[in-house]
Structure 1
Amino acid sequence: MNDIIDTRDPDRVEALKTVGWVSYILHLIVAIGAVVPGAQASLALLLVALVIDLVKKGDAQGSWQASHFSWRIRSVLGAGILYVVTFPLWLLFVVPGWIAWGLISIWFLYRIVRGMVAMNDSRPVGNDA
């Protein structure tokens, strides 16, 4: 059962915000590792962040933080799909694959930073913001 979060309960709001920051930091480590040459972050970190978001998303239902959980989940799934779709470019031509994955990584980093800025301002992120 998903209860609407009473925004007057500061402990619950702060607990969700802390979970959100942990998830954003894990996403950021992976995103920077994908953009900076030679700095490969573990896929395990991204999977941990995704599991956190999937498990805690229901707790944020009805609050401004719900958009952040959806935002991070959509970011990971979107980047994952784009990486899989563009993988054949690596097999056929190295340079186009490198360019495609570089652009996907920059897009992913942008989404994470945009979400972090909104979280810092305690406001929703995305189209519903």
Structure 2
Amino acid sequence: MSYLPMIKIILPYIAPILGAAAPMLTKSSEAEGADDKTQAKQIVELQVAVEKNGASIRLLAEQLEKLVAAFDEQQLAEKGGLEALQQQQQVLQAGQAHVSEALQKFVKDAQITKILAAGAVIAAMAALAVALLK
């Protein structure tokens, strides 16, 4: 099973997720604390980042779901192909057994024919010998 197609599908979404996960927050002008406006702006930035993350994660989940479905279909196709190969193998084995039986019958018939031909030759020689002795 190859993970390369999965990586190719997921890779374009990783950068936006990471970018949204580490937003550049508004920096406070005061070193020790931020005023209410700065904190409110940071909260809004965090909310926007969370929304972007959610959208990216949903998109990634959809793509992953499609990929898993494609892998499942591929496995079913491979299983069906394997079953078809097994059926073909059974048909070939049955055909091989039939050909083997036919060849054995042919050899047996040929042996019988050979014996009958030898008998005919002996009978012909005997007839010839009788004819020569007369």
TM-score scaled by structure 2? 0.38
Structure of larger gyration radius = 2
Q: Which has the higher contact order (CA 8 A, sep 6+)?
A: 1
Higher helix share: 2
TM-score scaled by structure 1? 0.39
